[in-house]
Chain A
């Protein structure tokens, strides 16, 4: 099993005062809270910090951990020395460092498994029937899934209590129907797919937060979908009819004369579907043809001579 450097995780020196450790923990908990941070590894970091704090905030556990010595490196293969904790007295409970997740094997080899699951996810064993916990995960879907609806197979790390009463993590595959019209940041709820209840209590629910995989062409903002549409200078100025792609297929779009770069052309109701569907916007970008041949250079010069045009003059007409 891998050694974990709790001081490094917390970003404090080995001789840090308890107050310093507390401050470091609070700062990191805010930074990596999975509801606040959008970093992909936020949840992992949040758990690591919670585990480190569970040890370092407790002077008894901290002293025992320190006794292992400072020579270990993160990730190094670790076995606790025999009787390593002899002479240390531990008081159980109060491990509510983070969100009630399980700690690492490293932690458990040192401090045991016990009843350390803190926070609201801890089942109350005094009650005979308890509803299972709600569980949460983030899933990534494609823009097209929202337009058409789709069935996606997702694999989640699922924690369950084994026959020996200990929590264990295993992969769990679910086929989920992604509802048409779902938007990034929205949540879908799968009733009764959370943790199992205790003593015949109902299962909790599974909540999935939806994120969209970045699309090579389209960008999503709320329920609206954007496309950057490149047009030639003459198309923008004289007007044109151009073919453009939308998530529901190609359409012919009329570019009004005198259009400027950044002009948004709206296709109402062609954004993400729903009771109140979003809109689709083509945002004009003016692409300049490169003058390679003499003929093309001449064309640019004639173009210039036909206008009394200074782009640096305050605003053009």
Chain B
């Protein structure tokens, strides 16, 4: 693996628009245990459709939320609640930055 496939074109998928996933799928993609996902669901960090874990369906966006939450937990020693708060605030900051960029541009004439 990891050869230079200079001539091959790699196909890829957009995670956020992926079709819905079961708990097992999410664990596999994110390399986390199901216990950990249950913990993150309890904090509202990811919000699957369905009542029981066996019925849970996760959106594609859950993948990046879980992966980033795991990195934040490890590197900044955040618990699940802290990571959930950071993710929500980061989403808001991103939106506000994009809007700010647009509005700042409006003034230049």
Contact = CB atoms under 8 A, between A and B. Distances in A.
A and B from one complex = yes
Contact of B101 (A187, A219, A274): A219
B27 to A, nearest CB: 12
B7 A175 contact: yes
Nearest to A285: B109
A36 B10 contact: no
B67 interface: yes
B14 A187 contact: yes
B16 A187 contact: yes
B29 interface: yes
A70 B21 CA distance: 56
B90 interface: yes
A205 B74 contact: no
Interface residues of A, number: 57
A185 B94 contact: yes
A156 to B, nearest CB: 10
| Main SS at interface, chain B | helix
Listed residue (B10, B16, B86, B106) with the most chain A CB atoms within 10 angstroms of its CB = B10
B15 A188 contact: yes
B67 A134 contact: yes
Contacts of A181: 14, 17
Given A174-B10, A285-B109, A35 B68 contact: yes
B1 interface: yes
Interface residues of B, number: 40
Interface stretch (A81-89, A220-228, A244-252, A292-300): A220-228
Interface in A167-208: 172-177, 179, 181-193, 195-196, 203-205, 207-208
B76 A33 contact: yes
Nearest to A97: B75
A287 B109 CA distance: 8
A99 B71 contact: yes
B76 A222 contact: no
Contacts of B64: 187, 207
Listed residue (B2, B9, B86) with the most chain A CB atoms within 10 angstroms of its CB = B2
Given A33-B75, A99-B74, A230-B109, 15 more contacts: A35-B71, A35-B90, A131-B31, A151-B9, A160-B2, A176-B12, A177-B9, A177-B12, A179-B12, A190-B12, A195-B2, A204-B31, A228-B109, A262-B106, A283-B106
Interface of B: 1-2, 4-17, 29, 31, 63-64, 67-68, 70-72, 74-76, 86, 90, 94-95, 97-99, 101-102, 105-106, 109
20 contacts: A29-B75, A33-B72, A33-B75, A33-B76, A35-B71, A174-B5, A175-B5, A177-B10, A177-B11, A179-B12, A184-B98, A188-B14, A191-B12, A193-B10, A207-B15, A219-B101, A219-B105, A226-B102, A274-B17, A287-B109
